[in-house]
Chain A
Amino acid sequence: MAITKIQSESLNLADTYDFTGTVTGAGENNTPIVRVTKSSAQTISYNTYTTITFDVENIDTDNAFASNTFTVPSGKGGKYFISLQVISDDNFDATLERINFLVNGSTQTSGNYFTGSGSDESQISLNTILNLSAGDALTVTYFTYAGGNSSIKSNSDHNSATCLNIFKIAT
């Protein structure tokens, strides 16, 4: 096999390489990858930080998600991209909806949505990158200020109405 890309015992990085086979050993493995959703709506009491439940595991490569909690597997510590979308319906006059990422029970990141008067459906998204260690437990909570109880929508209301996506991006 002719080797034309090796020049003076090194690769010419300015050249173009057109691989036709499989390249292994390059880049990082981006697992665990988790995507979870809800099969039914969840009622949330107002003025109470409530753990959002996820009972549908669309993707869970490392069996890292259980009991509404993502636990970083052994040897999988690193930087994680985490994305949460919540569609909710706040009943009469809630003024604020808040979603939070918690690691080991402590709030790391929050996102707010200020609602108008009356009942209305809202979509809140929260994205972040967290440096997590093996054994760290991540949960998400929802809070609605004053007003009445809210309902977090499920797959039966909208396709993937409320979903949590997690994947490792780097060590």
Chain B
Amino acid sequence: MAQLSTKIKSYCEANGVSKVDFLKDVMLQDDSNGQGAYIKEWNLDIAQPTAEQLASYETAANTAESNAQVDATRRSQYGSWNDQLDEIYHDIDAWKTRIQGIKNNNPKS
């Protein structure tokens, strides 16, 4: 099941809000009582979504989370910018082959 914040981001993107700040725009709370996370504050101009509206973004949010994990895995395998620049300086084709291999091994949805 996708995170509440991911579903809210998908809902906001679909309604013209490209970026959500979860420190100011929307505050989510989980009281650790088994009830799960909920919207504590909604400070955006667009309407606060209903539970049914958020549920409709479940698939999109799952895809976004899966791709975020792939992005993180790829970045960790790319290595630092310093090392990559050194690779490019010595053999740019070998670097391109290595990067493409990482992308192929970690495909996005």
Contacts and interface: CB of A to CB of B under 8 A. Distances in A.
B56 interface: no
Interface in B21-67: 22-23, 27-33, 37, 40
Contacts of B3: 45-48, 149
Interface string B66-96: 0011001001100000000000000000000
Contacts of A68: 32
Contacts of A143: 23
Is the contact region of chain A dominated by helix, strand, or loop, or is it mixed? loop
A147 B75 CA distance: 13
B27 A49 contact: yes
Contact of B37 (A45, A96, A118): A45
Contacts of A117: 75
B4 interface: yes
Contacts, number: 57
A51 B32 contact: yes
A49 B5 CA distance: 11
B75 A47 contact: no
Given A49-B29, A50-B30, A145 B4 contact: no
Interface string B5-30: 10000000000000000110001111
* 4 A-B pairs with the lowest CB-CB distances in the bound complex, closest first: A92-B72, A47-B5, A47-B22, A51-B32
Interface of B: 3-5, 22-23, 27-33, 37, 40, 68-69, 72, 75-76
23 contacts: A45-B3, A45-B4, A47-B3, A47-B5, A48-B22, A49-B27, A49-B29, A49-B40, A50-B29, A51-B31, A51-B32, A68-B32, A91-B72, A92-B69, A92-B72, A93-B72, A96-B23, A117-B75, A118-B75, A141-B29, A145-B23, A147-B72, A148-B72
Given A45-B3, A49-B40, A141-B29, 19 more contacts: A45-B4, A47-B5, A47-B22, A48-B3, A48-B4, A48-B5, A48-B37, A49-B29, A50-B32, A50-B37, A51-B32, A53-B32, A68-B32, A91-B72, A92-B76, A145-B22, A145-B23, A148-B68, A148-B72
Interface of A: 42, 45-53, 67-68, 91-93, 96, 117-118, 141, 143, 145, 147-149
